[in-house]
């Protein structure tokens, strides 16, 4: 029987670099766009025979800003993926395959939206981050709240029935009240999915420098947690299911692609810096766009690191990734996967975390407690 696999495609181009961003994304390499797309098509062709043993579960265009790429290129990439799996575009939604694209207002037009839908894209993920103008400026976002509404409404009007909105809390200058304004605005828009992350100050970013030079002030951990608790309670009140530490969805709209990562599924990452996990091996591509293109011009896979996971590493990932899900990890699932008693492997650590009230355990599952959700890293560290 064929296994499932998800495909991630990294598009490392943006109109302007946001102040908090340390992703592999560039606002000054537009001249490489065409070659990059040719390289992606070449990379797909190098995996055709490896993909024969799989069924396609989901496709995710992430970035960067995938919507800055010509919509015909997105279509061409998708057609090549469908061909690799011998499926028709018409069968995509019926067979439950989720095809997502991340987009930003400012890089999204009606023509693009229509073409994405015609190409089989059935989920749109839009980056709002905050509805407040001052906070949008601190983050260096290129759009206004109004432009966001316009993009969202355009996507709805043209037929997107599965939309995610990304928001961030913990922005310097943000207050519980301004964050509540963002939450209310998002709830009002009624997307099927909401991702709500705490801002991480990444070294080397503009925002990091502004905080370190005390030009602006980082918000306290206490405030950060207050905002998280507010998000959980408001989104639940609005009928969203809290299914992962930072993710909320209407029934039936949990992100299938991301769940593959959290449940130890297999995925192939294409594009500069993309990560993959296939047949028990983890590997990632060269981060430099130029090196990525050069290697593919020579028909070489642009892989920079490859590591076969040991059983211990697989167990560790099972625990760390699975505990991100609110339903936690399945004890019988662990034992079926590894043919080991979970108490024999992690008994002491589980007891310690139970004692600290960071996890809860019943007959067949282990989940993070409310305290554990706030201190998730302390839990994960135990399983590394
Ligand atoms: S749009 Fe996203 S990927 Fe691009 S710079 Fe901003 S945060 Fe980074």
| End-to-end alpha carbon distance in the chain | 32
Interatomic CA distance for residues 62 and 371, integer angstroms: 31
Asked if pLDDT for residue 109 goes beyond 90, the answer is yes
Q: What is the largest CA-CA distance in the chain?
A: 58
Asked if pLDDT for residue 91 goes beyond 90, the answer is no
Interatomic CA distance for residues 136 and 143, integer angstroms: 8
Q: What are phi and psi of 141, to 5 degrees?
A: -75, 150
Kindly state the tokens that stand for 366: 């282990």
Percentage of the chain exceeding pLDDT 90? 97
Q: Is the CB of 361 under 6 A from ligand 1?
A: no
Q: Which residue has the tokens 């706030």?
A: 374
Least confident of 84-98, 109-123, 129-143: 84-98
Confidence at residue 106, expressed as pLDDT on a 0 to 100 scale: 80
Beta bridge partners of 126: 103, 165
CA of 16 relative to ligand 1 center, distance in Å: 8
Helices (DSSP H) in 60-195: which residue ranges? 71-84, 110-119, 133-139, 145-157, 176-189
Q: What is the mean pLDDT of the chain?
A: 97
CA of 329 relative to ligand 1 center, distance in Å: 32
CA of 237 relative to ligand 1 center, distance in Å: 30
Angle at 127 between CA 40 and CA 6, to 5 degrees: 40
Q: Is the CB of 104 under 6 A from ligand 1?
A: yes
Q: Is the CB of 14 under 6 A from ligand 1?
A: yes
Tell which residue, 264, 290, 288, has the closest CA to residue 277: 264
Q: Is the CB of 64 under 6 A from ligand 1?
A: yes
The stretch 194-216 carries a mean pLDDT of: 96
Tell which residue, 124, 123, 119, has the closest CA to residue 107: 124
Asked if pLDDT for residue 94 goes beyond 90, the answer is no
Q: What are phi and psi of 306, to 5 degrees?
A: -140, 135
Question: Is the Cβ–Cβ distance between 146 and 154 less than 8 Å?
Answer: no
Interatomic CA distance for residues 112 and 74, integer angstroms: 10
Note the pLDDT tens digit of each residue in 14-57: 999 999 999 999 999 999 999 999 999 999 999 999 999 999 99
Confidence at residue 107, expressed as pLDDT on a 0 to 100 scale: 85
Burial class (CB in 10 A: 0-12, 13-18, 19+), 203: exposed
Structure letter (DSSP) for residue 205? S
Confidence of residue 178 (pLDDT cuts 50, 70, 90): very high
Note the pLDDT tens digit of each residue in 249-265: 999 999 999 999 999 99
Percentage of the chain exceeding pLDDT 70? 100
CA of 86 relative to ligand 1 center, distance in Å: 33
Q: Which atom of ligand 1 is nearest to the CA of 63?
A: 3
Q: Which helix (H) or strand (E) is 361 found in, with range?
A: strand 359-361
Confidence at residue 256, expressed as pLDDT on a 0 to 100 scale: 97
| CA nearest ligand 1 atom 7, residue | 21
Least confident of 104-108, 227-231, 240-244, 254-258: 104-108
Instruction: For ligand 1, pick from 11, 27, 65 the residue to mutate: most ligand atoms within 8 Å of CB.
Output: 65
The stretch 218-247 carries a mean pLDDT of: 97
For β-strands 247-249 and 241-244, DSSP reports them as antiparallel
Q: What are phi and psi of 21, to 5 degrees?
A: -90, 125
Question: Is the Cβ–Cβ distance between 268 and 7 less than 8 Å?
Answer: yes
Confidence of residue 247 (pLDDT cuts 50, 70, 90): very high
How far is residue 301 CA from its own chain's centroid? Answer: 24
Beta bridge partners of 62: 10
Kindly state the tokens that stand for 108: 């999204």
**Residue 228's CB: how many other CB atoms inside 10 A?**
20
SS3 category, 87: coil
Instruction: For ligand 1, pick from 10, 16, 25, 108 the residue to mutate: most ligand atoms within 8 Å of CB.
Output: 25
Note the pLDDT tens digit of each residue in 324-349: 999 999 999 999 999 999 999 999 99
Q: Is the CB of 125 under 6 A from ligand 1?
A: no
Instruction: For ligand 1, pick from 9, 23, 128, 271 the residue to mutate: most ligand atoms within 8 Å of CB.
Output: 23
Which residues have CB under 8 Å from 227's CB, separation 6+? 169, 170, 174, 176, 179, 198
Instruction: For ligand 1, pick from 21, 102, 195, 206 the residue to mutate: most ligand atoms within 8 Å of CB.
Output: 21
Q: Which residue has the tokens 């992962």?
A: 244
Q: How would DSSP label each residue in 191-225?
A: -SEEEEEE----TTSHHHHHHHTTSS-PPPHHHHH
């Amino acid at each position: 029987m064929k296994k499932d696999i998800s495909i991630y495609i990294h598009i490392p181009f943006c109109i302007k670099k946001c102040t908090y961003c340390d992703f592999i994304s560039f606002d000054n390499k537009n001249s490489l766009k065409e070659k990059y797309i040719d390289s992606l098509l070449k990379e797909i062709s190098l995996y055709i025979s490896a993909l024969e043993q799989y069924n396609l579960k989901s496709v995710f265009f992430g970035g960067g800003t995938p919507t800055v790429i010509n919509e015909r290129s997105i279509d061409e990439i998708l057609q090549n993926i469908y061909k690799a799996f011998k499926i028709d575009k018409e069968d995509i939604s019926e067979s439950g395959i989720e095809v997502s694209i991340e987009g930003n207002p400012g890089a999204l037009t009606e023509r693009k939206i229509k073409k994405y839908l015609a190409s089989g894209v059935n989920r749109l993920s839009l980056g709002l981050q905050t509805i407040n103008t001052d906070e949008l400026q601190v983050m260096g976002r290129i759009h206004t709240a109004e432009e966001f509404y316009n993009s969202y409404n355009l996507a709805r009007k043209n037929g997107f029935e599965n939309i995610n909105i990304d928001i961030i809390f913990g922005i310097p200058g943000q207050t519980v009240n301004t964050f509540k304004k963002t939450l209310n605005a998002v709830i009002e828009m009624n997307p099927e999915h909401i991702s709500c992350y705490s801002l991480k100050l990444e070294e080397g970013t503009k925002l990091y420098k502004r905080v370190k030079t005390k030009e602006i002030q980082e918000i306290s951990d206490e405030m950060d947690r207050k905002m998280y608790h507010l998000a959980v309670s408001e989104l639940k009140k609005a009928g969203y299911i809290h299914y992962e530490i930072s993710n909320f969805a209407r029934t039936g709209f949990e992100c299938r692609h991301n769940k593959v990562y959290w449940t130890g599924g297999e995925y192939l990452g294409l594009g500069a810096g993309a990560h993959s996990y296939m047949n028990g091996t983890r590997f990632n591509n060269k981060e430099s766009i130029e090196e990525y293109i050069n290697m593919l011009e020579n028909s070489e896979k642009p892989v920079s690191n490859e590591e076969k996971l040991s059983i211990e590493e697989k167990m560790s990932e099972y625990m760390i990734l699975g505990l991100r899900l609110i339903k936690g990890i399945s004890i019988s699932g662990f034992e079926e996967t590894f043919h080991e008693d979970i108490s024999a492997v992690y008994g002491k650590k589980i007891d310690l975390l139970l004692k600290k009230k960071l996890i809860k355990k019943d007959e067949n599952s282990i989940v993070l407690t409310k305290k554990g959700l706030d201190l998730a890293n302390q839990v994960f560290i135990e399983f590394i």
